Structure 1
């Protein structure tokens, strides 16, 4: 059997192997390639035939070879393209102006979505900043132009990227659930940038928008998509009601006699958790609390009934059920519940619209958890653009890079 390595395995398409040298001291392998003159010069932008102008050389990093650092030196040409002008020649295994081969970029990017930069840098014997630059360049190329066509239903939510009320606005396509846009801030101006990028014609195709009850988001949607239905999904309404429940719990704790204060401790999550997921001890403590405190009992009962609103099929059913719920909230004479009922009435149209477009922002909340994981794994991000690219990557993970035949 021949000891020669088949050309296809090396992955240097359109090039010939000129020389291989190595250094035991630095544990490096240097591969030198020359163009295969049988192939035409191609423009790296349009991939069309072009005329060579000036010969150049570039040395790029390649994958490790049995633990040895590998550098590949290639010759290439600046070419004159009839359509694009002066451009860099197309090299199948290196992106224009890149300092690493495509396969190294893919391997680094794939590992960076699972491991900290410092660990990936240690594995490839690279500086962590080099790893970050490789990963960032690869992600910029992969997510440079997210598709904004054929979008009719979207979801909008904010996500925290740093302490101190620093937020990003994320927009999802809910028909084919995936992230399509991320912008800095969570105000009307931020959302306007998305709609401006979307364009007036595509804005007209938006039929429904799932959002929370943020005034800024509501105003932004109404300004750019006045015909679209605003949908306040169940998740955010129940989340807001849970905050009301906690405020009632705190008020009742302050008013309770000393002998009953112990029943309120460590019950914050018992009041908002799904009863079916509670253990026996939790069920017993919750039952004791509700038995000794009527306001909390009333709020808890109304909370369970609130969730049933989204089981209504028609707008008429929803409005009737909502009116009944608000009436019970007013009859309770509990200020927090009465204020919450007022808020529901203000946003009534965004609630009953769920019957026409049963959409929600669950995928956005899942995205928020992914973003939190990314931030904790990296111990924070100083490069916001890189952080946004990592958010896109979390929504659309990179496949495991495999050899290309």
Structure 2
């Protein structure tokens, strides 16, 4: 067996005494070196007295594609300080039924593969793989330094089908996901501010978000010094849904007796919503120009969208205020009900728009992270435990140093 121990030096302090096939697996019998005193599993001090021997079956990494089961003879020592304790083994955790090598390999595989695939690859139970990954995530998150954010980004993403959402809070400076919770109401995001504490809330200077009233009110309650900054993309998307789409449908209904003209307007939805620089072909540009020239209402709301986007690139607060008043005046003068209604609603959010002058922030960072979250969710075919899913997300986005 000396030659076997030379070629299989994986189990420090133990010798291979027998190798035999066990179905599709290999069973390897290990016995401790007789010339080495065992160490106490509690204080790690050498012990000369062995209280008893016990045998434990332990899983290890496969060898040549075959699963490995170790039959290990372990010693329970009589320690003067700790009493009767199992000996310390360098390649085995206390009470573990698999080696540290196998556990590390499983955790590394979980970073690239779904839990079910990892379980099948190593021949382990699904719950065992999930428990190993959970412990690794908890250990990794516990080593992260305490966050002291000054600027935040808040958004939500779809957690399950059926309009079930989760809220995400990101540190805008370090790109670290600070907190995730189910729901998008005030009660759902309140635990984050309670966890941040009064000192942490007082440190917050600005928060970027979409026009989510729940986020807005909760930030104003807990962070009175923070300025809310509304994201341009969400406002323009809302304008497209509530104004451009509404006017397009109204104009199509008005031309119900002119079927060719009605068809042109009905099929122009994405042409109107797309930015001019994103038109792919000259034919699309010509089509858009002809459409706007033929319909005054569509021309108005299309140009008003460009003016609305310009409000997010002001040079100074006084210039923004002048442009803002002009945009509101043009909206009311248009006599387009959908545009007038949108302007009335947007008027209550002007502070979050003008904050862009001082804090040029947006939720684009979090939108990119939300796309990565979707990939993580799809790779695992969904998660049964939301808490575990949230830990997985936090570990993927620990922030920049």
Tell me the TM-score range normalised by the shorter chain.
Answer: 0.7 to 0.9
Q: In the alignment, which residue of structure 2 is the partner of 1:256? A: 255
Q: How does 1:16-35 map to 2 (within 5 A)?
A: 16-17=14-15, 19=17, 21-30=19-28, 32=30, 34=32
Q: Is the 8 A contact 1:263 1:285 kept in 2?
A: no
Q: Is the 8 A contact 1:154 1:210 kept in 2?
A: yes
Q: Secondary structure at the match of 2:264?
A: coil
**Paired residues, what number?**
386
Q: In the alignment, which residue of structure 2 is the partner of 1:351? A: 353
Deviation at 1:149, TM superposition (A): 2.7
Cα distance in 2 between the residues matched to 1:180 and 1:89: 41
2:174 to 163, 173, 176: 176
Q: In the alignment, which residue of structure 2 is the partner of 1:231? A: 229
Cα distance in 1 between the residues matched to 2:71 and 2:24: 17
Q: Secondary structure at the match of 1:151?
A: coil
**Deviations, residues 105-131 of structure 1 (Å, cap 9, x unaligned):** 443344334333333333223344443
Q: In the alignment, which residue of structure 2 is the partner of 1:190? A: 188
Q: Secondary structure at the match of 1:270?
A: helix
Deviation at 1:359, TM superposition (A): 1.5
Cα distance in 2 between the residues matched to 1:395 and 1:344: 34
Cα distance in 2 between the residues matched to 1:54 and 1:216: 64
Deviation at 1:152, TM superposition (A): 0.8
Q: Is the 8 A contact 1:148 1:180 kept in 2?
A: no
Q: In the alignment, which residue of structure 2 is the partner of 1:207? A: 205
Gap change, CA 1:180 and 1:63, over 3 Å in 2: farther
Gap change, CA 1:87 and 1:314, over 3 Å in 2: farther
Deviation at 1:326, TM superposition (A): 1.8
Q: Secondary structure at the match of 1:199?
A: helix
Q: How does 1:327-346 map to 2 (within 5 A)?
A: 327-346=329-348
**Deviations, residues 346-373 of structure 1 (Å, cap 9, x unaligned):** 1111111122121111121112222223
Cα distance in 1 between the residues matched to 2:361 and 2:86: 47
Q: In the alignment, which residue of structure 2 is the partner of 1:318? A: 320
Structure 2 unaligned blocks of 5 or more: none
Cα distance in 1 between the residues matched to 2:78 and 2:253: 78
- Please give the root-mean-square deviation of Cα atoms over the aligned residues, in Å: 3.7
Q: Secondary structure at the match of 2:269?
A: coil
Q: In the alignment, which residue of structure 2 is the partner of 1:376? A: 378
Cα distance in 2 between the residues matched to 1:255 and 1:157: 38
Q: Secondary structure at the match of 2:245?
A: helix
**Deviations, residues 217-249 of structure 1 (Å, cap 9, x unaligned):** 111111111111111122222222222222322
Deviation at 1:293, TM superposition (A): 2.2
Gap change, CA 1:277 and 1:103, over 3 Å in 2: farther
Cα distance in 1 between the residues matched to 2:75 and 2:265: 74
Q: Is the 8 A contact 1:182 1:388 kept in 2?
A: yes
Gap change, CA 1:248 and 1:172, over 3 Å in 2: same
Gap change, CA 1:349 and 1:125, over 3 Å in 2: same
Q: Is the 8 A contact 1:18 1:34 kept in 2?
A: no
Q: Is the 8 A contact 1:61 1:99 kept in 2?
A: yes
Q: In the alignment, which residue of structure 1 is the partner of 2:277? A: 276
Q: Is the 8 A contact 2:206 2:229 kept in 1?
A: yes
TM-score calculated relative to the size of structure 1: 0.81
Q: Is the 8 A contact 1:31 1:70 kept in 2?
A: no
TM-score calculated relative to the size of structure 2: 0.81
Q: In the alignment, which residue of structure 1 is the partner of 2:129? A: 131
Cα distance in 1 between the residues matched to 2:85 and 2:151: 40
Q: In the alignment, which residue of structure 1 is the partner of 2:365? A: 363
Cα distance in 1 between the residues matched to 2:189 and 2:329: 35
Q: Is the 8 A contact 2:40 2:85 kept in 1?
A: no
